A and B are shown apart, each in its own frame.
Chain A
Amino acid sequence: MPFIPHTDNDTQQMLHAIGVDDISRLFDEIPMELRCGHLDGVPEASSEYEVGRLMRRQAERDQVGLNFLGAGAYEHHIPAAVWELTTRGEFYSAYTPYQAEASQGTLQVIYEYQTMIASLTGQDVSNASMYDGASALAEAILMAVRVNRASKSKKVLIPRTVHPHYAATVRAITASQGIEVVDIPYVPDSGRTDLGALQTHAGTDVTAVVIPQPNIFGVLEEVDELADWAVEHDALGIALANPTSLGLLRPPGEWGREGVTIVCGEGQPLGVPLSSGGPYFGFLACKEALVRQLPGRVVGRTVDSEGKSGFTLTLQAREQHIRRSRATSNICTNQGLMVTAATIYMSLLGPEGLRRVAIESHAKTRALTAAAEDIQGVEAVFTAPNFHEVVLRLPVPASSVLERMRQEGILAGVDLSAWFPELLDCLLVCATETKTDEDIQTYVQSLREQVEAARTMG
């Protein structure tokens, strides 16, 4: 039996010590009418070799050559050392660091992670991570509602330029807490949040405003104006930031006159593979004054009984296992393994490396945009500066172009019409530092062929 080490001899000795003659006796407290039959829906066991062949076959079915998809999950080079170190058994199979003396490795990693995230985001403190960016945003909103006691409305303004899956997640998670989510439209030319539309909420009770940077279109928002608006209207600004971009761009703690005091986002770009959408991790950071409202785990530095420096989970009194029904959140986990990977990734890249990855990703997307706009009828939709994604409008139906390019081994972009019906035949395209000039040529060449083919047919 896989992973069960008992020999018959072992089992017999143990049963004898317990004083029963058969394992089945150990279940005698379970009423017979509740006992189930065989687990018929589970196939026969396979050896590791057999499972390996099966999994390889399944994985091969899904191989695609070139990935130009972004929309919340980004392909970056992950140094080999990141996952070799992260999957060391001492990290991989360790538990939550509740027994601090037995977990100094994990605890120190998290302390280092907290330091890096706080600095990247321009904040004072970071927690040990949330499940992902979308749920981190939901928790950030719940936090803002707790913090902004002067505001009674629980009204939260979320630009339409926030990733639609994030907005949907926020709604699902905050639904029963009386949070009113209000959309703010975007300006069709620039692709930025409409400040005029935001202004219509002036004079009303707004609890919080979410500020994405970059936004779902890859466009850079007017973050200073948005941050200042929040402050002027007694609302808490919540920044939703891409962490790679923070290697290059001014952090939310420095937006506007006073900075934004809560920052969250998706940490996947920092050393976590695309892995079909998860596991990822969300980061959440804030200013020192708000630290006791921060959900999730926090690691603190202290000393041991001999005065030696060490690390431990702290502020646990706010958490579910102590505060129970009055906890800041029900969250019990952090994404420990992903945080370990991200910390190692950030250590290998350093400030210079992260900056370069950001710049090169931006540059590749610009190069792709310029080359694509050379195709007759293809144009970038938005005029404002963007980070590493672009929205291209095609002169022909997007879905067949996408399908044809997929057959050639290129995932050419996300068809935005599903999320934004007004953006018909528009693709959200992302090129990171992983794309060479040849890759971009391949893309543009294929796109040109498909557009022209569709035009002649249609």
Chain B
Amino acid sequence: MSEPLIFERGRPGRSAGAQFPRHESAHELPAQFLRERPPLLPEASELDVVRHYTRLSQMNFSIDTQFYPLGSCTMKYNPRGCNSYAMLPGFAARHPLTPESSSQGFMTCLFELQEMLKSVTGMSAFSLTPMAGAQGELAGVAMIRAYHVDRGDEDRTEIIVPDAAHGTNPATATMCGCTVRELPTRADGDVDLGALRELVGPRTAGIMLTNPSTLGVFERSITAIQDIVHSAGGLLYYDGANLNAILGKVLPAEMGFDVMHINLHKTFATPHGGGGPGSGVIGVGEKLKPFLPVPLVGSTKDGYRWLNEADVPKSIGRLSAFMGNAGVLLRAYIYMRLLGQEGMERVADYAVLNANYVMVQLRQAGFDIAFPDRRASHEFIVTLKRQATSYGVSAMDFAKALLDRGFHSPTTYFPLLVPECLLIEPTETESKQTLDEFIGAMAEILAMAKSDPAKCKDAPTTTPVRRLDDVRAARRLDVRYQPPEVQISAEIVDIAEN
């Protein structure tokens, strides 16, 4: 299946006339401000547009159509009710600067969300404004720095990050003007405590961890870790990417974390949308409360009001024009109300059950598990190093072969520490039936890798395109359509010295 570009679907002079004002008023804007040439936007009929984007949607894999076991992404079902109610006209049409007197419905939902998030994490306060996990991390590291500077301890500029950490962690540390100190992981999946003792000192601002770690196993020495870091004067940041594994079982605050972000688009089922929007709400213990990014929702005897810079004078400031991804927050709120206390406490049970079941079955089918002596958390790692060596079939080839069998692949090549790895996270919303089908597909591919490796390397063959030349994509940069009359070279970008 293929689909031309929308620009190619349309024709000059065509338009979707029902969608814009029928008349054009005169205006007296000075000519110097006006465009001379119209922008390159499609000239298409409404049917052209509807057909085009409907067909494009049919070229996607999605949770609504396929099992999507991407590790560390928590691709659970996005409940439709969350979308419908978040888009009710009263919410969807509400301007962000609407006075508080006409915002109490919305603010009630947000305040209750803040409270519920405190419950499930043990944290003392939440700011709902960071618009993605990475922004939550930025806020967290910025708050840690602000805390130390506020105490007169300006030299604390080092952030410790495990070598298995997600790339946003070190990238965030750098963005906050800190230097990254890497902490090695041991063969059994826990971090190296001896190395940690060497790394901490008077320059330590804090450590960024996720638990369970990116290796899919619970960091058993977390109490020792928090002891070492706190004793050295540093703080602990919890990357909430893997919260789905411990929801209702462990409170991050009780593991000793001072600050954390939650990826609402992971644990709280808000949509991934092809790459966003996310939400990285940030929770803190008492130490960091004064530094939270604004605005926050505060309660008064008559209702709710916004807390701004004046109310939180030591705040690290605002991270967005308004108050973050409100629509995503509403979806998370609705999800939490649908699950309720009991539902929230069951999420981890079934997420972990599903992961351990798939792990055991894959091991029996002949796959190598990276940490065979550990329990899977909500995810686990398969390493295909042996198959790569024996048959020349890599993790990438397995991933592509899964696409042909109607499954989105697991996360590949992350974490970096395990060679030829697949990080598999089924999530709790998948049935045993689906898991068995996936296990069957994996076993089939393994057999094919042995008997006909070339076929694996040829996959995928049933998707709209075959494997793409990404070297060419980077060398001959073509990132926008040029209509045929315009001649611009599509060759490599020249550096212009600035």
Contacts and interface: CB of A to CB of B under 8 A. Distances in A.
The answer to A–B direct touch (Cβ < 8 A) is: yes
A63 B170 CA distance: 44
B70 interface: yes
Contacts of B52: 347
Interface stretch (B227-235, B281-289, B447-455, B463-471): B463-471
A434 B399 CA distance: 48
B275 A297 contact: yes
A228 interface: no
A365 B385 CA distance: 66
B119 A40 contact: yes
B16 A111 contact: no
A152 interface: no
A95 B167 contact: no
B101 interface: yes
B88 interface: yes
Contacts of B99: 402-403, 406, 411
Contacts of B409: 99, 102
Contacts of A105: 56-60
Interface in B11-38: 14-16, 18-21, 24-27, 29-30, 32-36, 38
A59 B277 contact: no
A292 B493 contact: yes
Contact of A248 (B34, B94, B177): B34
Contacts of A273: 87, 92-93
Given A31-B220, A109-B274, A347-B52, A102 B60 contact: yes
Contact of B39 (A106, A323, A354): A354
A89 B88 contact: no
A182 interface: no
Contacts of A109: 53, 56, 274
Contacts of A45: 337-343
Contacts, number: 696
A220 to B, nearest CB: 6
Interface string A102-115: 11111011111011
Nearest to B1: A104
A304 B2 CA distance: 13
B interface residue count range (under 10 / 10 to 19 / 20 to 34 / 35 or more)? 35 or more
A305 B134 contact: no
B357 A14 contact: yes
B345 interface: yes
A258 B6 CA distance: 31
Contacts of B469: 302-305
A382 B2 CA distance: 53
Given A44-B341, A109-B56, A26 B403 contact: no
A433 B428 CA distance: 46
A291 B6 CA distance: 24
A395 interface: no
Contacts of A168: 309, 317-318
Contacts of B167: 319-324, 327, 332
A278 B277 contact: yes
B493 A57 contact: no
A147 B498 contact: yes
Contact of A57 (B40, B105, B120): B105
B73 A92 contact: no
Given A88-B54, A351-B38, A402-B99, A169 B273 contact: no
Given A110-B274, A276-B91, A314-B479, 6 more contacts: A13-B432, A18-B360, A104-B60, A173-B138, A326-B174, A330-B134
18 contacts: A3-B77, A17-B360, A43-B337, A45-B338, A59-B91, A64-B102, A94-B274, A95-B70, A119-B480, A125-B480, A148-B498, A175-B316, A280-B321, A302-B478, A330-B137, A350-B44, A362-B27, A403-B101
